[in-house]
Amino acid sequence: MADVAVIGLGGLGSATAYWLARRDVSVVGFEQFELGHVRGASHDHSRIIRRSYHTPEYVRLTAGAYDAWQAVEADCGEHIITVTGGVDLFPPGAAIDHGTYTASLAAERVPFEWIDGAEIRSRWPAFAKGSLVTPDVMGLYSAETGIVPAGPGTATLQRLAVAHGAELREHSPVREIRAAGGEVDVITDDGATRVGHVVITADAWTNRLLAPMGRSIPMVVTREQVSYFPHADLQRFAVGRFPVWIWMDDPSFYGFPLYGDMSGLKGSEDCGGSEVDPDTRTFDPDPGMEDRLRSFMEQLVGPGFGAPRTATCLYTLTSDRDFLLDTLPGIPNVSVALGAAHGFKFAAWFGRTLAGLACGEPAGPDLAPFSFDRPGLHAPIDRSAWMV
C-alpha cells in the first residue's frame, strides 16, 4: 500500500510526488490524461519566476521558490531556472499600485532598481522602437527575474519522481476520494487504492473532487492564451538584450525574451480570457485576444510581427487570487493546493511543502495566508482582486 496518493500531475502534483519519493515515502500519482498533456495549466515553454510581488509575504515566499528549484537542479545536475532580469512597467496612473511592490521588496531587503522610461529605452533598445515606454513610464527592475520551463520542468519532476521510486499512473481519472477509517480510498475505474494521505493538485478540476466530501471553493476557470509572433529581427529580443516584462495596468500584458520556441516572440494578456468549463472548453485561439496583444506589442516594441502561433491554457482563479495550501478542515489526511494562476514559479516549493504536510509536519505561519478557512477565499468573486 502506498503511503500517499497525489491526484493531478501538472507542475504542482509532479513536484509533490518528486519530493515525497525523495523522502523515501511510497507515493502513487494519478493523472486523468497522458503525462505532458496540454489541457491544464502547466504546459508550453515558459513561466515567469520573480521576486517582485505585492506583499512582503509573497516576496519572502519567492526565496523558497528559487531555493526549491535550485534543490531540484542540484539533484538532477540540470539547469532549470534561466535568469534574464525583469522589468515591471508602470505607466502614469497605472491600475496596479507600484508602491505595494517597492515597499514589499524593501521590507524583505530584496534589491531592485526604480528607473524611468528613458533609462528603460537605453538599457533595452527594443523598447525604443515602440511608442509606449515614454519618459514618464517607470520600471521596477529586478535582476533575479527569470524563466522556468513549464512543460519541460514538469516532465523533469516526473522523471525524477519515478527515479526516486514514485509510481505515476496516467490515463487514471480519480472518480472519488472516500474516508476509510484513519485512511483514504482513492477510487478510479480500476477500483480503490487505500492510502494514508491524499494530496489534491487538480487545479481547474479541484471542485469535482471536493464536492463528494461536501466541500467547494469559489473559483473561476478561464481559458487564457499565449502567442509567439515571428519577427524579421528576433535577435533584438534575445536573452541579455531584452528582459521579462509585465505591463502593470488594466489590461495587463506580459512577455519574455526569446526562449523555448525560437521562431517567435512570446507575449500574453493576464486574465484576458473567458470563463470556461475545463472539460468542454475549446483549443482554438481567440482572434480578438490575438489582435489585442499584437496591437499592444507593436506599441511596446514597434511593428514587424508576422502571424502568431497561439497556445491556450487554463487559469484557475481564487476570489482573492491567493494560493490555497492546506489540509481540509475536519479531514486532516487530505490536503489541497491551488496556484491561483501564478503558481508555476512556486511549483517546486509547493511540492516540498505539500510533501511535508503529507508527512504530518505542521503547516507553519508562512502558510496562514493560504488556509482553507480564510475569509478572502470564500468571498464573492471580484475581478479587480486579480489585478496584482
> Minimum distance from CB of 136 to ligand FAD (Å)?
27
- Does 315 engage in binding with ligand FAD (CB under 6 A)? yes
Instruction: Give yes or no for residue 351 binding ligand FAD (CB under 6 A).
Output: no
Only one residue has cell 493560504, namely 370
Give whichever of 48 and 81 is closer to ligand FAD, judged by the CB atom.
48
| Residue nearest ligand FAD by beta-carbon distance | 10
x-marked contacts with ligand FAD along 251-290 as a string, rule CB under 6 A:
-----------------x----------------------
Q: Does 219 bind ligand FAD (CB under 6 A)?
A: no
Is 293 among the residues that bind ligand FAD (CB under 6 A)?
A: no
81 contacts ligand FAD (rule: CB under 6 A): no
Closest alpha carbon to 203 in 283, 318, 286: 318
Q: Which is nearer to ligand FAD, 117 or 312 (CB)?
A: 312
Residue 341 in contact with ligand FAD, rule: CB under 6 A: yes
16 to 4, 246, 350: CA distances (angstroms): 10, 29, 7
| Structural contact between residues 34 and 170, judged by C-beta atoms closer than 8 angstroms | yes
Between 8 and 302, name the residue whose CB sits nearer to ligand FAD.
Answer: 8
Measure the CA–CA gap between 63 and 337, rounded to whole angstroms: 19
Least distance from C-beta 44 to ligand FAD, angstroms? 7
Nearer to ligand FAD, 231 or 345 (CB): 345
Q: Confirm or reject binding of residue 314 to ligand FAD (CB under 6 A).
A: yes
- Binding part of the chain for ligand FAD, among 55-63, 73-81, 228-236, 307-315 by CB under 6 A, reads 307-315
Rule CB under 6 A: is residue 205 a binding residue for ligand FAD?
Answer: yes
DSSP-based helix, strand, coil % in the chain, nearest 5: 35, 30, 40
Tally of helices (H runs) and strands (E runs) in the chain? 8, 21
Write the CA distances from 331 to 148, 205, 210, 336, integer angstroms.
Answer: 34, 19, 11, 11
Pair 189, 302: CB distance under 8 Å: no
**Residue 44 φ/ψ, nearest 5 degrees:** 80, 180
Q: What is the closest distance, in whole angstroms, from the C-beta atom of residue 83 to ligand FAD in the complex? A: 15
Nearer to ligand FAD, 105 or 314 (CB): 314
Residue 339 contacts ligand FAD per CB under 6 A: yes
Site for ligand FAD in 31-50 (CB under 6 A): 31-33, 40-42, 47-48
Residue 109 CA to residue 88 CA, distance in Å, equals: 18
Size of the residue set binding ligand FAD (CB under 6 A): 36
- SS3 annotation, 125-152: HHHHHCCCCCCCCEEEEECCCEEECHHH
364 CB contacts (<8 Å, ≥6 apart)? none
Interface ranges with ligand FAD (CB under 6 A):
7-13, 30-33, 40-42, 47-48, 173-174, 201-205, 209, 224, 226, 268, 313-315, 339, 341-345
